[in-house]
Structure 1
Amino acid sequence: MVIDAIDREILRKLQDDGRMTATALAAEVGLTVAPCHRRLKDLEADGVISGYRAVIDPASVGLGFEAIVFVTLAQVDRATLDKFEALVSANVHITSAQRLFGDPDYILKVMAEDLSAYQQFFDNALTVLPGVQRVSSTLVMKNLKPGSGLPL
């Protein structure tokens, strides 16, 4: 699929407000409703738009503690990587995870209620992941730009 300027504008608007109606979206991007709705459905069908979700303030739901965790694995064979990645992906406290080139092997974003809850998570969940050699954390003092959209 080729993404043109109108598609990019649709994507920009939806990143700002994913609940925008097709009518409002069409008006914002200078289209009538039918062609705007068709483009939106095409973007969804082609996987350009992979989903919609609510953005929730972590502190409002008791998750005011955020840590960035660096993980180095002792072994990087396929079986270990697959197990490690499956457990990381399934853990609800790990809200973001990237595999990196170089050292460390992974960077994780972890949300917890407070320092004590994070310490328990660190001891009981992070250090026991398959293949883990080293885990280090840095605590987030202030989140300046949470979950921003793509630069479209």
Structure 2
Amino acid sequence: MAPLIDEIDKRILRELQADGRVQNVELARRVGLSPSPCLRRVRRLEEAGIVRGYAALVDPATVGLRFTLFARIWLTAQDAETIDRFVAAMRRLPEIVECHIMLGDSDALLRVVVEDLDAYRRFQSTHLTATNGIRNVKTDVPSETVKSGVALPIR
């Protein structure tokens, strides 16, 4: 069962999504609390797993990762062992920034970030193979990113 959060918690979450480095005193001011109750609420949200962590958002192009590709994956089988082997392998690969097990036509969807198309070709031929439970891969190359974000629409 999901923990109950009230309107103040939601304001805190929206503020933290916009600026995870905001100081508690400033966060408290923004959400209309004094610092001590605000800090208690933030800690409760963290302990409940609602706030899973904090991270820096890095511009991929500035660190040489200019290509984002989406790979639709079909597995060699649908049994638990094959799926577990696939999931374990995908978790070890830093180039895979998202991995979703899918319902529908394909079995999984990957978002892969690499330097260039040659790097992806090498990555695919090395890692997206039957050894990792993969039968087939279809790669989609986006022509333009219209929207990309991590903030959830907390209302």
Q: If the TM-score is normalised by the length of the shorter chain, which range does it land in?
A: over 0.9
Residue correspondences, number: 152
TM-score, L = length of structure 1 = 0.96
Structure 2 CA distance for partners of 1:101 and 1:107, relative to 1, 3 Å: same
- What is the letter of the counterpart of residue 18 of structure 1? G
Q: Is the 8 A contact 1:66 1:112 kept in 2?
A: yes
Distance 1:140 1:120 in 2: 19
Distance 1:55 1:128 in 2: 33
Distance 1:22 1:143 in 2: 34
- What is the letter of the counterpart of residue 11 of structure 1? L
Give the structure 2 partner of residue 72 of structure 1: 74
1:95-114 correspondence runs (5 A): 95-114=97-116
1:5 to 4, 7, 10: 7
SS of equivalent to 1:26: helix
Give the structure 2 partner of residue 138 of structure 1: 140
Instruction: Give 5+ residue unaligned stretches, structure 1.
Output: none
Give the structure 1 partner of residue 65 of structure 2: 63
- What is the letter of the counterpart of residue 7 of structure 1? D
TM-score, L = length of structure 2 = 0.94
- What is the letter of the counterpart of residue 22 of structure 1? N
- Give the CA RMSD over aligned residues: 1.0
SS of equivalent to 1:48: coil
Distance 2:7 2:86 in 1: 40
Give the structure 1 partner of residue 93 of structure 2: 91
C-alpha deviation, 1:74, in angstroms = 2.2
- What is the letter of the counterpart of residue 139 of structure 1? V
Distance 1:42 1:84 in 2: 34
SS of equivalent to 2:72: strand
Distance 2:76 2:17 in 1: 39
Q: Is the 8 A contact 1:87 1:129 kept in 2?
A: no
SS of equivalent to 2:5: coil
Distance 2:12 2:135 in 1: 45
Instruction: Give 5+ residue unaligned stretches, structure 2.
Output: none
| Residue identity (%) | 39
